[in-house]
Amino acid sequence: MSGLDVRRQGAATWVTLNRPEALNALDAATKDALVVALGEAADDPAVRAVALTGGGRAFCVGQDLRELEQAYREGRAPDVGDALERHYAPICRLLAEMPKPTVAVLNGVAAGAGVSLALACDLRLASSAARFRLAFAGIALIPDAGSTWHLPRVVGLSRAMEIALLGDWVEADQALQFGLVNRVWPAEELERQAAEAVAGLAAGPTLAFARTKTLFRDHLEVGLAEALAGEAKAQIASGQTSDHLEGVSAFLEKRQARFQGA
Ligand code: T3D
């Protein structure tokens, strides 16, 4: 059985990693279910935002090391490449390339690939109880599941080095200072504040959000001329959406826009 709960809340899908007894460590069944749930959310036009969170006191502590215990005890390292190809790379790409906003709602501790999943999301909203440790170095691995790509881009190279090599816990307030998370609320407020933020994103101009995500990521690697050309193409398409008409009409009529994600 997988440790994943998936529920719809309005136009948002909430995906909860729910193996609290193992701090939501990622076993094969949970990763399989996560690939499916994120794929379905990506393909469903009625879903206009995706939130990823954890049940209990943790967000996610990365790979379930106990699942691999027998192999390690027998002195043979499991095939990490297989896990990366089958699970971690698809999960990372589904979150990062999802054609709608993705939000990590960080209720508690995040370690290893748990940090990687949070980094693959567009936004990270945290409880004051959240804390972060890359943890890969503790088991002599490199940060994977997209962390080598995302972390320096999110916090800058120097902070990324600090987090990966010094390996200290990053507490919520420091994570905010580093830009590792976007918001921190007192633990008791997280659920309400995050629900409000996710609902707001789900009511947003979904196609424009999707294009914004793609352009920000793509344009990290290109020169200005190419970025301007990319913007022009995306803006022409955005200008032809019914949400664009609605947004301008709402402005002219001095009312709140009611976007349909189309
Ligand atoms: O092989 C591959 O596929 C490579 C891929 C690697 C990707 C990665 O994610 S590598 C990083 C893996 N994660 C870690 O190394 C973190 C390991 N966990 C910890 O260091 C600690 O649990 C924490 C510092 C995060 C929290 O400590 P604490 O004292 O608050 O809790 P705890 O007592 O250590 O953990 C509570 C339970 O969760 C405990 O179970 P038990 O003994 O009560 O039955 C513990 O074993 C379990 N747990 C914690 N982390 C994992 C885990 N079970 C399986 N896998 C874990 N990663």
- What tens digit of pLDDT does each residue of 96-151 get? 999 999 999 999 999 999 999 999 999 999 999 999 999 999 999 999 999 999 99
Local confidence band at 78 (pLDDT 50, 70, 90 cut-offs): confident
Contacts of 212 (CB under 8 A, 6+ apart): none
Angstrom distance (rounded) from CA 176 to CA 183:
7
Q: Are strands 131-133 and 170-171 parallel, antiparallel or unpaired?
A: antiparallel
- Specify the DSSP element, H or E, that contains 42: helix 28-43
53 CA to centre of ligand 1 in angstroms = 17
The answer to whether residues 22 and 57 touch, using CB atoms and an 8 Å cutoff, is no
The CB of 22 under 6 Å from ligand 1? The reply is yes
Name the residue with the closest Cα to ligand 1, atom 1.
Answer: 80
The CB of 134 under 6 Å from ligand 1? The reply is no
By CB atoms closer than 10 A (0-12, 13-18, 19+), residue 128 is middle
pLDDT at 27: 97
Angstrom distance (rounded) from CA 212 to CA 231:
9
Q: Are strands 58-60 and 12-17 parallel, antiparallel or unpaired?
A: unpaired
The radius of gyration of the chain's CA atoms, rounded to the nearest angstrom, is 19
Angstrom distance (rounded) from CA 233 to CA 119:
28
Angstrom distance (rounded) from CA 91 to CA 146:
10
The answer to whether residues 23 and 17 touch, using CB atoms and an 8 Å cutoff, is no
Residue 3's CB is within 10 A of a number of other CB atoms, namely 23
The CB of 85 under 6 Å from ligand 1? The reply is no
Please indicate, yes or no, whether the overall pTM of this predicted structure exceeds 0.95: yes
Strand order in the sheet with 12-17: 4-9, 12-17, 49-54, 102-106, 123-127, 183-185
Local confidence band at 13 (pLDDT 50, 70, 90 cut-offs): very high
Angstrom distance (rounded) from CA 49 to CA 175:
24
Percent of the chain with pLDDT over 90: 94
Phi, psi of 44 (to 5 degrees): -90, 110
- What tens digit of pLDDT does each residue of 208-250 get? 999 999 999 999 999 999 999 999 999 999 999 999 999 999 9
Q: What is the mean pLDDT of residues 194-218?
A: 98
Angstrom distance (rounded) from CA 244 to CA 253:
14
Q: Which residues pair with 51 in a beta bridge?
A: 14, 103
Q: Which residues pair with 26 in a beta bridge?
A: 63
- The pick from 21, 24, 61 for probing ligand 1's pocket by mutation, whose C-beta has the most ligand atoms within 8 angstroms, reads 61
The number of the ligand 1 atom at minimal distance from the alpha carbon of 57 is 30
